[in-house]
Amino acid sequence: MNLANLERQLSFLREIDQLKSVVRMSPLINQSRRENSAEHSWHLAMYALVLAEHAAAPIDVVRVVKMLLIHDIVEIDAGDVPFHDPSARAGQAELEQQAAERIFSLLPDVQAAEFRSLWSEFEAAESDDARFAKALDRFQPLVHNAATGGGSWVECQVTEEQALARYRLPIERGAPALWEESAKLIQEFFHKAKAE
């Protein structure tokens, strides 16, 4: 047993416990509170396992799950920036890069390199695995918003046109069938909201 590796791994695992304290804008579907980033990551991993057949191309679901469990760890340092507030995203990429360096470096070198590589692959969204992971990262909060009377759409005063524009490309690239469902959910919500 490599005790030095074990200590670094435990240090990393203690550190990422902080992800449970990063509160997102998305409400839980029961609307009792907002979800945290650790819950979001777990839920996305479940989305990957359940919805893998809807990926646009063949994927390695284990790699996708790894990406989804890792993708928001940087929010421990960089915070969660609301998707519907583009002005708040200024400088966020740099903060997330710095966070990735610090947090993943807690791990033994081989694991640190693997996690950092998976995180970077997710961010670039160029591989089939990453495109599907990115699609799910957009799809899950969309499902929450549709199921909670608008959630962050209402809070951020998002229009139907903005919702369609912000979600379409990442979801359609990674999972066209999920985009069809997404467009339907968006249209149903906004048409109902206009009628009320």
Per residue in 119-159, pLDDT tens? Answer: 999 999 999 999 999 999 999 999 999 999 999 999 889 99
| Residue 175 pLDDT exceeds 90 | yes
Residue pair 105/174 in contact (Cβ under 8 Å)? The answer is no
Phi-psi region of 159 (alpha: psi -120 to 50; beta: other; left: phi over 0): beta
| Angstrom distance (rounded) from CA 167 to CA 102 | 30
39, 23 contact by CB (below 8 A): no
Indicate the DSSP class of residue 57: S
Residue 1 pLDDT grade (very low, low, confident, very high; cuts 50, 70, 90): low
Interior angle at CA 47, CA 167 and CA 154, nearest 5:
40
Other CB atoms within a 10 A radius of the CB of residue 170 amount to 19
Show the beta-strand stretches assigned E in the chain. 23-27, 34-36
26-78 per-position pLDDT tens digit: 999 999 999 999 999 999 999 999 999 999 999 999 999 999 999 999 999 99
Prediction pTM value = 0.95
CATH number reported for the structural domain that contains residue 22 in this entry = 1.10.3210.10
Count of residues for the chain? 196
pLDDT value for 123: 97
Domain that residue 23 falls in: 3-195
- What is the tally of structural domains in the chain? 1
Confidence (pLDDT) at 186: 97
Higher pLDDT: 90 or 102? It is 102
Angle between helical axes of 109-124 and 92-104 (0-180°, round to 10): 160
The pLDDT score that the predictor gives to residue 57 is 98
94 CB burial (10 A radius; 0-12, 13-18, 19+): exposed
Instruction: Give the pLDDT band (50/70/90) at residue 195.
Output: confident
Say what the pLDDT of residue 196 is.
Answer: 78
**What pLDDT score does 85 carry?**
72
